Amino acid sequence: MLLKIVQVGDPILRAGTQPLGRDEIRSAEIQQLIEWMRETMRDAPGVGLAAPQIGLPLRLAIIEDKADAPELDRKPVPFHVIVNPTLTLGGEMVEQMEGCLSLDGFQAKVRRAKAVKVEALSHAGDPVTIEADGWYARILQHEIDHLDGHLYIDRMDTRTFTTVRNSLRFGGQ
């Protein structure tokens, strides 16, 4: 089942998220949601999708990157789920072009840490620690930003950026 991806200007993207308990993560509902999110992300196509992007205030995101572009510090990343992640930044800061499924048709240069450490729960509710660098570190930062109510455009001090349609729909919130 393909889910609707929420676009910039919808208040859910700024609302923040609620953590999930281990039993909730393992529930049939959340496991089905993960599969629908995977189908939606692949169809878009994208390399990550956070629950707020499909209208749910849950602290859950999925990631998968099949691309291999060494010149962009990009290597394939297998499909996985992060739930209730905490992020520790490391290494130097790098600036690269970045886009988002919730800002369809736009890109901008965004400055992010080159390396990160993420502690989270997996799709099974088990603790995981991820140490990533390059493009994978960027994806993790981007998706965790979504869970905290932030978009990549916030890194450019442009929180008021929105589509015309959503500006009319939500009164420029």
Q: State the catalytic residue, choosing from 24, 92, 95, 143.
A: 143
pLDDT at 99: 84
Domain of residue 30, CATH code: 3.90.45.10
Largest CA distance in the chain: 43
25 within a domain of the structure (yes/no):
yes
Residue 131 among the catalytic residues: no
pLDDT at 100: 95
Rounded-to-integer distance, Cα 121 and Cα 164, Å = 37
Domain count across the chain: 1
141 within a domain of the structure (yes/no):
yes
pLDDT at 159: 42
pLDDT in tens, 63-87: 999 988 887 788 999 999 999 999 9
20 within a domain of the structure (yes/no):
yes
Range of the domain at 132: 11-170
pLDDT at 151: 95
Closest CA to 159 of 11, 5, 2: 11
Residue with tokens 């692949």: 42
pTM for this model (two decimals): 0.89
> E strands, the chain, where?
48-50, 60-65, 77-99, 107-121, 127-133
4 within a domain of the structure (yes/no):
no
DSSP 27: S
Indicate the helix (H) or strand (E) that contains 39.
helix 28-43
